[in-house]
Structure 1
């Protein structure tokens, strides 16, 4: 087959070109996603920049082919020959291969994030959906939480494999060897396990439905599995983190069920009994809950975006910090329901006469005033917050992707590395502060800020104002503060393992590696055997300090005051002492070779050789 014929047939919708001879073919920059080239000959072919995502290249000959810049995400390279191939810039994220796959010399498929299909391999959380893994050797493999949606695993070797919480929806497991495999809490909706070897399998909490096929005489209820169907009894069932998106559980008995952090997108819970059920942090996007019994249910931080709750009973339920954007709560019983910190928008429908603002819920809309609001973990994608006042807001882990923040005030708001902002939006330019390990918050005003559960490890808090701040469960391990730092009344930073940086402090063997100590006053401090490697001590005062045996490797000591400082046996390798004042310092036992001492003052210092510098 020549190149033109191949491309013409592909354009017409043909995808199976198994066994084709395309050696030396020019297929550069072509979109060939999901093509089947099973055992095809592509030796010396030009595939630069070609899209081969999810292509079936099992047993294909790709020797000496040029795959630079090609996309092979999710492709099957099992048994393929890529010896001599050019893979510079190629994307192999999620590509699968096996022990028979031949790669170019010195190429590391692991570094390229390809996935090895082999016994005892680590594939936890891997996306293997829709792949052909028939007869694959995966005995003892770790497939915990792996996505195997509609994956073909016919006659696969999965004995003793870890398939806990794996998604096997619609998977074909006919004839598979699953002896002693762990399928606890796995999802087997629509899966075919007929003729599979299920000897000594742990199925506790696994999900199945009326379309799941088992070997003859296998009884799933005896294996402690959960049937997902209308009107079933799942009272007090343990379904935390389960993927039940799109499932029909209308009229089901789920009293006291554990569904926290479950994916319940589009689920039908109409007229279901969910009283006292735990649904905290569950995703209930577009869920049908009309007429459901949710009395005393825990829906804290649940995402109820566009969900329908008409006529539901939510009396005494907890919806604190829940997302109610577009939710329909009309004619719902909200007697004694908790809405503290819940979010709603102009499209949310409440029962007539219900005052949501008095219940502690927050309206998310243009121009709202929400200073100091805790929006940690909230999903605000696409929300309209033009001109809103979010000063001092807690935005830890908040998803603001595609949110309209035009003219919004984020002055003194706090965020972390997991916060997502709209493309091109710079929170620092808008006055917000990044809270992350090692960050500098020197002189920052965080008075009254909500820093609950903040990770402030090794943060510089010199002169920071934390009065009236909420520091509940905040982590201060190795944070630095000085006498001008202001904490809330009754808060003891030392009890939280923070370090006071001040004259005469005793910090022997302290770990201050990489710390920002610019301009700090540590005169007469005891820092013997302290780890100050790569610390920034530019312009600091360490006069008369005890640094005996301290590790100062790679530290910046530019312009530092080290007069009469004890540096006996200190490690100064690679330290920068340019312009430092070392008058009268004790340097015996220290190696000063390869150290930058330009413009440093060494008058009266005791040198490593025992002499006194003139």
Structure 2
């Protein structure tokens, strides 16, 4: 029986005469697009584009061990294709048809499979780390022992999928449907889900180490480094001491969130809403706060060294003892509390600091040209070497305690 199976297997592999990459590309260039069952095993097709207005048909093709790094196969028909051990690193496979395809031990690291159909495909032991699987159909797909670390599975369909011993650590599962999926032995440590995520009936995501990204979520000390939380709703969430370094938090809703002592170094908070958030003692070194709203936020003792602050709203914020050495501030700081803040060498040109509390602040070498410091309190502040050209001090309390006329 074993010998008979081997003979059948050999016959199956030899049904189609191998076609080399050069001949295949020549035929494709001549607008041929029907290649069902073609034998391209081991072909080197990296960097090629097969998306020229017509659908490439490679259904049932043999592409075992083929090199397809950064290849564009958007909308291609690869249903039933043999793709074992092929290399699809950073390949574009959006909307591709891969149902019932064999992708055992295939490298799909960083590939884009958005809206691709992988239903009933065999991806056992495949590498899908950092892959994009947005709205992909993985119904009844075999992903046993597959590596899906850091993969984005937003709104993907994984109903009845086999994820036995799969690695889903740090994967994004927002709106993912895992109903009836086999998660036995799967690693979901630090994977992200939201209230729209559907897990199997007997599965406990909290016990599995999955993080819920939702208003009032408890994420104290969570490791969310480099994670994509664009537009995430984390109002009133507890993120104290969480690691959010290099995280993407653009347009995130963090109103009244607890980010005390959190690590946000190099994070992107462009247009984020941090109204009344607690950022005391937080590390905001090199953070991007362009157009962010920090109205009434608590930033006492936070490190904002080399932060990108453009059109940022700090109105009424608590910036006591904050580190803003060399920072370029182009936002609204009216009424902000900057008591004992370190602003050495900071650029504050034309910034609105009216009514701000700058008592005992260190402003040595700061550029305050054209800044509005009307009614600000500068008592005991150090202005040595500061640039004060056209600075408005009307009604301000000066370092010596006198009120400027």
Bin of the TM-score, shorter chain as denominator length: 0.5 to 0.7
Q: C-alpha offsets along residues 73-92 of structure 1, whole Å, 9 cap, x if unaligned? A: 99785526699xxxxxxx94
Specify the alignment match of 1:170 in structure 2.
Answer: 155
Query: In structure 2, which of residues 36, 51, 56 is the aligned counterpart of residue 71 of structure 1?
Result: 51
Q: 1:94–1:127: 8 Å Cα contact kept in structure 2?
A: no
Distance in 2 between the 1:119 and 1:336 partners?
56
Unpaired stretches in structure 2, ≥5 consecutive residues? 1-26, 39-47, 64-69, 94-100, 351-405
Partner of 1:200: 185
| Partner in structure 1 of residue 281 of structure 2 | 296
Deviation at 1:265, TM superposition (A): 1.3
Q: How has the CA–CA distance of structure 1 residues 343 and 112 changed in structure 2, closer, same or farther, with 3 Å as cutoff?
A: closer
Cα distance in 2 between the residues matched to 1:362 and 1:166:
40
Q: How does 1:250-289 map to 2 (within 5 A)?
A: 250-289=235-274
Equivalent residues of 2:296, 2:317 under 8 A apart: yes
Q: Identify which of 87, 90, 93 aligns with 2:72.
A: 93
- The reply on whether 1:333 has 2:334 as its aligned counterpart is no
TM-score normalised by length of structure 2: 0.64
Partner SS for 1:324: strand
How far off is 1:113 after superposition?
A: 5.5
Partner of 2:146: 161
Stretches of structure 1 that go unaligned for 5 or more consecutive residues are 1-42, 49-56, 84-90, 366-614
Q: 1:209 Cα shift? A: 1.2
Alpha-carbon distance in structure 2 between the residues aligned to 1:353 and 1:109: 55
Distance 1:80 1:99 in 2: 6
Larger radius of gyration: 1
Deviation at 1:322, TM superposition (A): 1.2
Q: C-alpha deviations, 1:260-300, integer Å up to 9, x for none?
A: 11111111110001000011111111111000000000111
Alpha-carbon separation, structure 2, partners of 1:293 and 1:111: 41
Corresponding residue number in structure 2 for 1:245: 230
Q: Secondary structure at the match of 2:309?
A: coil
> Structure 2: how far apart are the matches of 1:216 and 1:341?
54
The aligned residue for residue 233 of structure 1 is: 218
TM-superposed deviation, 1:93: 2.7
SS of the equivalent of 1:327 reads: strand
Given that 1:145 and 1:164 are in contact with CA atoms closer than 8 Å, whether structure 2 keeps it comes out as yes
Task: Report the RMSD for the aligned CA atoms in angstroms.
Answer: 3.8
- Using CA pairs under 8 Å that are at least 6 residues apart, name the structure with larger relative contact order, 1 or 2: 2
Q: Distance in 2 between matches of 1:234 and 1:325?
A: 29
Matches within 5 A, 1:518-537: none
CA 81–117 in structure 1, closer or farther in 2 if over 3 Å, else same: closer
Q: What's the offset of the Cα at 1:187?
A: 0.9
1:118 is the counterpart of 2:103:
yes
Distance 1:231 1:112 in 2: 36
Aligned to 2:332: 349
Counterparts of residues 146-545 of structure 1 (less than 5 Å): 146-345=131-330, 348-352=331-335, 358-362=343-347
Q: Deviation of residue 156 (structure 1)?
A: 1.0
Report the equivalent of 2:41: none
**CA distance in structure 1 between the aligned counterparts of 2:52 and 2:197, rounded to whole angstroms:** 32
For 1:124-139, what aligned pairs fall within 5 Å after superposition? 124-139=109-124
CA deviation string 1:172-223 (max 9, x = no partner): 1011110000111111111000011111111111111111001112111111
How many angstroms apart in 1 are the aligned matches of 2:173 and 2:293? Answer: 27
Cα deviation for residue 98 of structure 1 reads: 5.5
Question: Normalised by the size of structure 1, how large is the TM-score?
Answer: 0.43
Q: Tell me how far apart the structure 2 counterparts of residues 74 and 185 of structure 1 sit (CA, whole Å).
A: 37
The answer to whether the 8 A contact 2:170-2:191 is kept is yes
Q: Distance in 2 between matches of 1:153 and 1:364?
A: 55
The 5-angstrom pairing of residues 51-70 of structure 1 reads: none
Structure 1 residue 324 displacement after superposition? 1.3
Instruction: Assess, with a 3 A threshold, how the Cα gap between structure 1 residues 255 and 114 changes in structure 2: closer, same or farther.
Output: closer
1:141 aligned onto 2:126: yes
For residues 109 and 198 of structure 2, the distance between their equivalents in structure 1, rounded to whole angstroms, comes to 25
